[in-house]
Structure 1
Amino acid sequence: MPREGEYYFMHPGHVTTAAIALSVLDVVAVALRFWARRVQSQPPKTDDWLMIPAMLLTVGISISQVYGVAHMALGYRIQVPPGYTGSTNDLVTPQLTLKAQIEWSYLLMFPIALGCMKASFLFFYMRVFAVQKHGFINKLLLGFIVVVVVWALAFFFLSLFECDGNFGAIWGATSTFMKKCGNTELVVLALCITDFITDVFIMAIPVPLVMRLQLPAKQKIAVCSMFLLGGGTVIASLVRFILMAGTYIGGINITSDNILGTTACMYWGMVECGIGVFAACLPAIRFLFQKWVWEPAVNSTKSKFSSQSSGSIEAQKNVIHVDHSYDVAYRRINSSGQSTSSV
């Protein structure tokens, strides 16, 4: 195991780079999503609009972490004043106060960002798979959406009133915080566990639905792969869950420094939100990529191979067939089930 503080997700440079990169990626992805709707001459739907608050809150989380690193409240060890011999849990300094304020703001933004992101996935599934307005699939997805909304609001208000309105205790000494807000650790752990479970369910929902479509096996695999690209959010939530569970349940702490530990958990939360927003926009981005990159490349290949031998022409036909096969699957999925059967 590396020495304390050597984990890359605790280093200030890496936290800042990841925060900026994910923010830029998400802003571009959401912009491309709405651009794709315009190109398709389709009005934005609920799943599209939900990406705006999800993206803004993700950028807000990233900005707060960059600000914390810039002021040494994240990504750095606790600065103990000269001559202080007590426990760092009883220490109150501007560094620790700012760390606590950033952590609290993160806990307020995080569940709402996740809630919007998860609900966007579910509304997208509803638009694609719920052929019958009052069918079982529609009711199932509506039920999941209600659960996600209640889940997000519950953890938001639990974080908002974690100290019964005594905000001074939130960014005071750690020992004082633990006395007056003793259930906070359990709330954070519950957030990690339920977040991971809901991510797994949401990512798994499309698989059985796609398998029931009247499509060739290769097309089903291609479409499932497109939906499962959001599995990065599951990995990030799993890592964050392991970090929190190891600290609160297993007695395994990757660092004894409170600031570095907070940095690690906030970092993986930021990664989860950033990847989730991007993954939710992938179907729309895929449409633009196909229209302006893939199709011109295939046409260019077709033109090149058309002037060569019959063997080369056969190879070109295979390329066209692969593109057409995936395009048929995508169009059938994106036509809200008009050409599907047994959903």
Structure 2
Amino acid sequence: MSSTDAIKSIIPAPEGYVVNFENPQTQYVVESYTVVAVEMTLAFLFLVQRLYTKVAIMKQFQPEDAIVVVAWVLCMGAQICLLLGMTDGAIGRHAWEISIDQYTYYSKVILAAPLLYAFGTASAKCSLAMFYRRLNPNRIFQAFVWFTLFVTFGAYTSIFSSLLFACKPIAASWDPLLLPTAICLNRGGIYIAQAVIGIVTDVMLLVLPIPTVLKLQMPNKQKIGLVGIFGVGSITIATSVVRLIILLPALTTPDQTWVIGQGCLWIFIEANLLIMCCCLSTLRRFFKHFAPHLIGESSSTGNSKSNSRGFSNNKAQRTFGSSGAKRTLDTFMNTNNDSNGIPLSSFDDMDKSTKTTVVKAQRAHRDSDSEEAILFERSVQVTYEEARQDQKSDVRSHKPQVWTGNRL
């Protein structure tokens, strides 16, 4: 502890350094304010876009949407804590140019912000995993999704508990005067573990949907674009790596209030990118509703005029379950508020002992810009004839006919 001009600081200044409490040196303060102003606004707009699309356009407010809101609130809370620390002069300044009271405030901020950020990050990533859960009903895929959810939630819960109870007594985590007699864990190691967990879970969420995307029946260009949408989340991997690199020297320097300024800057970047990545899945549906020409879609009015009876102008006939690549993309991204199609049972899955099976096709509820043909309500009666055992030679091969949209 050092004292300069009757103001006590936590560490003494280096030899030859002129301490100036009135006008101290700062770093990454202006840059942080700029990043926060831009990215907080973008993250909020992305969140509003997602909520409007899911509630007003699709009318499907799902659990992951609520979790995104929770993630945004927690990430905002973490950023506000760090901003208050910068405004008070406790972050981005040399430790020998801030008072003991300011250092105590810094300790409180640097404890509260990671606690909020841990659960904010966990909420955002769990929301993405819950969205992935709807992409593929395959049991193996579902198992990987649940495994990712378990790892993400469990790891960040452990980080939260480790940070909160790092010192005994707990007050030593924010009161530097108690540190000489307190028993504390290596909090620097906990921060490194948090960054590493962030990188690992980001990689898991990046890789998880790729096998499903590659199996989609759509042009390769659309597959690449879809992988790119999920690949945007890899930006947070880069920010986590940078934050980890910055944290390593901060663990060995006593001037942590100075070094932590750069780390806070990258937290601002990463926290807002997480929210924006969570809102990308509804972006195409949003533009399809308000500005379809921006994504190469025709307007709903044009579709209604060109398809007077609801059938596509494409001369190629469509069968049950077939659709264009764009339609497939909407269905895969869960941004289509149409019904899931005609609930036709598979010929192979039907009970062959049943004499007659009746399958009904209901009129599909669709929005005005759907590319599907209007599906008329009709009943299809499928009759099975059992072959007698003594007439094995008279068994005929059955070739099922596929309905192509023309009236029978």
Residue of structure 1 equivalent to 2:327: 328
Q: Return closer, same or farther for 1:197/1:12 CA change in 2, 3 Å cut-off.
A: same
How far does residue 168 in structure 1 lie from its aligned partner after superposition?
3.5
Residue of structure 1 equivalent to 2:229: 226
Larger relative contact order (CA 8 Å, sep ≥ 6): 1
1:239 partnered with 2:238: no
Residues 144, 208 of structure 2: 8 Å contact kept: no
Structure 2: how far apart are the matches of 1:141 and 1:75?
Answer: 40
Matches within 5 A, 1:1-343: 10-80=27-97, 93-127=100-134, 129-132=135-138, 135-172=139-176, 176=180, 180-248=183-251, 257-295=255-293, 327-335=326-334
Structure 2: how far apart are the matches of 1:20 and 1:296?
Answer: 27
Structure 1: how far apart are the matches of 2:228 and 2:121?
Answer: 22
Which structure 2 segments of 5+ residues have no match?
A: 1-25, 303-322, 342-408
Residues 148, 201 of structure 2: 8 Å contact kept: no
How far does residue 80 in structure 1 lie from its aligned partner after superposition?
3.7
Residue identity opposite 1:274 in structure 2: N
How far does residue 175 in structure 1 lie from its aligned partner after superposition?
6.2
How far does residue 161 in structure 1 lie from its aligned partner after superposition?
0.7
Identity %: 19
Deviations 1:191-225 (A, max 9, x none): 11121111112112222221122222111111111
Instruction: Choose between structure 1 and 2: higher strand proportion.
Output: 2
Residues 68, 127 of structure 2: 8 Å contact kept: yes
Residue identity opposite 1:112 in structure 2: F
How far does residue 243 in structure 1 lie from its aligned partner after superposition?
1.6
How far does residue 38 in structure 1 lie from its aligned partner after superposition?
2.3
Structure 2: how far apart are the matches of 1:21 and 1:176?
Answer: 42
Structure 1: how far apart are the matches of 2:124 and 2:115?
Answer: 15
- 3-state SS of the aligned residue for 1:50? helix
Residues 219, 325 of structure 2: 8 Å contact kept: no
Instruction: Choose between structure 1 and 2: higher helix proportion.
Output: 1
Q: Return closer, same or farther for 1:297/1:224 CA change in 2, 3 Å cut-off.
A: closer
Structure 2: how far apart are the matches of 1:244 and 1:11?
Answer: 15
Per mean C-alpha deviation after superposition, the further-off stretch among 162-171 and 99-108 is 162-171
- Aligned pairs, how many? 290
How far does residue 112 in structure 1 lie from its aligned partner after superposition?
0.2
How far does residue 79 in structure 1 lie from its aligned partner after superposition?
4.3
Deviations 1:23-49 (A, max 9, x none): 222222212111001233332112211
How far does residue 336 in structure 1 lie from its aligned partner after superposition?
9.0
How far does residue 105 in structure 1 lie from its aligned partner after superposition?
0.3
Q: Return closer, same or farther for 1:165/1:52 CA change in 2, 3 Å cut-off.
A: farther
Residue of structure 2 equivalent to 1:308: none
Residues 244, 265 of structure 1: 8 Å contact kept: yes
TM-score computed with the length of structure 1 as normaliser: 0.76
Residues 47, 121 of structure 1: 8 Å contact kept: yes
Residues 281, 335 of structure 2: 8 Å contact kept: no
Structure 1: how far apart are the matches of 2:88 and 2:142?
Answer: 48
How far does residue 164 in structure 1 lie from its aligned partner after superposition?
3.0
Structure 2: how far apart are the matches of 1:334 and 1:27?
Answer: 21
Moved over 4 A (4+): 296-300, 335-339
Structure 2: how far apart are the matches of 1:281 and 1:79?
Answer: 43
Residues 218, 325 of structure 2: 8 Å contact kept: no
CA RMSD of aligned residues (A): 2.9
Structure 2: how far apart are the matches of 1:286 and 1:191?
Answer: 33
Which structure 1 segments of 5+ residues have no match?
A: 1-8, 82-91, 304-323
Structure 2: how far apart are the matches of 1:96 and 1:211?
Answer: 53
Residues 193, 241 of structure 1: 8 Å contact kept: yes
TM-score computed with the length of structure 2 as normaliser: 0.64
Deviations 1:63-110 (A, max 9, x none): 1122111111112223447xxxxxxxxxx6122111111100012111
- 3-state SS of the aligned residue for 1:215? coil
- 3-state SS of the aligned residue for 1:143? helix
Structure 1: how far apart are the matches of 2:58 and 2:264?
Answer: 39
Residue of structure 1 equivalent to 2:398: none
Structure 1: how far apart are the matches of 2:234 and 2:294?
Answer: 30
Q: Return closer, same or farther for 1:216/1:53 CA change in 2, 3 Å cut-off.
A: same
Structure 1: how far apart are the matches of 2:279 and 2:71?
Answer: 12
